[in-house]
Amino acid sequence: MTQTTTQAAGSAATGRGSGQPAAPAVEVRDLHVHYGDFEAVRGIDLEVRRGEIFALLGTNGAGKTTTLEVLEGFGQRSGGYVRVLGLDPATQRSALRERMGVQLQEGGFVDELTVVETLRLWQRMVDRTDRPERLLERFELTARRDVAVGKLSGGEKRRLDLAMAVWGSPELVILDEPTTGLDPESRRRTWDAIQELQEAGRTVVLTTHYLEEAEALADRVALMHAGRVAVQGTLGEILASRPAGFSATVPDGLGELPAVSGTVEREPIAGTDGGTRIRVRTTQLQRDLTGFLVWAADRGVQLTDLRAAPASLAEIYHGVRAGETEVE
């Protein structure tokens, strides 16, 4: 989400030489996926633009992996329209394979092969050109190059998997929980690698349970719950549409609080000083906060613990999980 990134995304978003905007990297309309009688994905729409980093967030079992598997051509849809780089992954998977790198939630390695042997085998299997040494260095695996994959730690396997997904810098990279199990430094380096892909004009779709990861990386996010997309858009759009809040403690005996457009919670404070803690949730933060401050100033009240904050992705996530946010 840097300036360079935006420029790269802008150039990648234009069809080669045509002057026309390129088709989205991913288009999903009314996607349904069943496992037997169980409907894991219940009619979702997604659009990932060329050159962007798109994060799919959601509760456990929301249908994120199922959705990615359909995009990758590994999973069957039971209904809906899906195009990935303009191709239907259900019927054109081999053409797509050359242009797309995939990191699954659980990599399928041959445990007996060493790290470098695994990458060399990959070199023979994938049409895109790259060098094992570059990826060993990029993902801090140089010291582990001659270790059998079966003896790697979970985080090291994750990094090897990621190295294979980004091999040859494909047009689209799909990553299922790329940083799960990584230590903070490895996570940071993985973020750098994802941002480098974007700076090179590539598109990245990832799932994550780390909200801060989506905040740090993603141009746009979709939040899934129980097979549906609850909210989708840029973080700015999503947060602006949700109530912000402020809180303060007011002394007893001041009469009615000023009217606000949002909701007010009151919690009496026990103890000698007394007073009431108030929490206001509002989509009109500036107006309601101004009204409240004027009300306090008119009464000569010093608010020592006033706090105001915008909506956060974490609050939205918890709202979706608790069923407070309406799902599309």
Interacting residue ranges for ligand ATP, rule: CB under 6 A: 35, 38, 40, 58, 60-66
Q: Give the residue with the Cβ less far from ligand ATP, 21 or 61.
A: 61
Quote the least distance from Cβ 210 to ligand ATP, whole Å. Answer: 12
Q: Are strands 172-176 and 203-207 parallel, antiparallel or unpaired?
A: parallel
Residue 152: how many CB atoms within 10 A of its CB?
A: 20
Q: Give the residue with the Cβ less far from ligand ATP, 58 or 201.
A: 58
Q: Name beta bridge partners: 231.
A: 223
Task: For the chain, count helices (H), then strands (E).
Answer: 11, 13
Quote the least distance from Cβ 324 to ligand ATP, whole Å. Answer: 20
Q: Give the residue with the Cβ less far from ligand ATP, 66 or 232.
A: 66
| Nearest-angstrom CA–CA distance, 2 and 86 | 27
List CB contacts of 232: < 8 A, sequence separation 6 or more.
45, 46, 220, 221, 222, 223, 238, 328
Quote the least distance from Cβ 226 to ligand ATP, whole Å. Answer: 9
List CB contacts of 144: < 8 A, sequence separation 6 or more.
115, 152, 156
Q: Give the residue with the Cβ less far from ligand ATP, 62 or 218.
A: 62
Q: Give the residue with the Cβ less far from ligand ATP, 180 or 284.
A: 180
Distance of CA 148 to the CA centre of its chain: 32
| Nearest-angstrom CA–CA distance, 328 and 224 | 10
Quote the least distance from Cβ 327 to ligand ATP, whole Å. Answer: 14
Quote the least distance from Cβ 207 to ligand ATP, whole Å. Answer: 6
| Nearest-angstrom CA–CA distance, 292 and 141 | 56
Task: Please classify residue 307 by burial: count the beta carbons closer than 10 Å to its beta carbon, then call 0-12 exposed, 13-18 middle and 19+ buried.
Answer: exposed
Amino acid (one-letter) located at 296: A
Task: Confirm if 63 and 41 have CB atoms less than 8 A apart.
Answer: yes
Q: Give the residue with the Cβ less far from ligand ATP, 74 or 81.
A: 74
Q: Give the residue with the Cβ less far from ligand ATP, 69 or 288.
A: 69
